[in-house]
Amino acid sequence: MNKYLFIGLLLLLIGCSSPEKEDKVSAIESNSSPTPSLSPANVNNAMPSLNPEALPDLSNKEKLGEVNAENDLIDLFYFDGNGVKVNLTVAADKGCFVYVRRSTPDRVGEVEIESLRREKLGLWRSYNTQRLLTQPAGNKLKVYSSSEELSSTYENPAVSQEILVALKELKEREKSFKLLLRQDLRASDSARRIYVNQCQKLGNFYYKEELPPFTEKERKDFEKSVEKSTEN
């Protein structure tokens, strides 16, 4: 009997210890570290910023819009300012664009001469670079890139905005401006010949050249002229 009593007590002890083992295992699983997760705030911090303010804004560049057929390019139009001269020669549906930037002590100058053709009234295209030119007013010339984005605006405050008045004023100033333009073109014999032989005859061509840097004498003369203008 004692034997059966001992066996019964042993089974009772084993039965009581089993739940404790299960509870222990359950505790380990529930206390194990959870799988890492990203909250919405963490997701925002972890992802690369897509803020549009950080991206370049390309919408501010003026695009070529509708052109006014009544405002065609004007023969003899010129711009003279900030060391740059621009001049147009126009006859029928052909034209010539001249750009000259004088050399300075800090950088070499540049000359660019290119023939033009009329696309339609109010819109012209250059021969090689495929730039587009419009003249929205008698005293203003706009140059657009081949992708129709505005690249330069040349405005002559000495000339009227009215086309007919501007034509008369430009004709009156033709000789004096051409004299100044030829003086700048003397920096390059090739550019001067192209201007006389090609631009004035409105042939199909394109010419671009860096102008020679200042000589020591030219540098001194330039500095003197700057001093005089400052004193005045």
The number of residues in the chain equals: 232
Q: What angle do CA 6, 7, 11 make, to 5 degrees?
A: 120
pTM above 0.85, yes or no: no
List, in sequence order, every residue forming a beta bridge with 206; answer none if it has no partner. Answer: 114
58: helix, strand or coil: coil
* Pairing assessment for the beta strands 206-210 and 110-120 based on DSSP bridges: antiparallel
Positions of the chain with pLDDT lower than 70, given as ranges: 1-59, 229-232
List % helix, strand, coil for the chain (3-state, nearest 5).
40, 25, 35
Q: Say how far apart CA 219 and CA 200 lie, in whole Å.
A: 32
Question: So what's the pLDDT on residue 104?
Answer: 86
**pLDDT tens column, 14-71:** 554 444 444 333 333 333 333 333 444 443 433 433 444 444 445 577 898 888 888 8
Q: Say how far apart CA 170 and CA 67 lie, in whole Å.
A: 22
- Could you tell me the residue ranges of all domains in the chain? 78-213
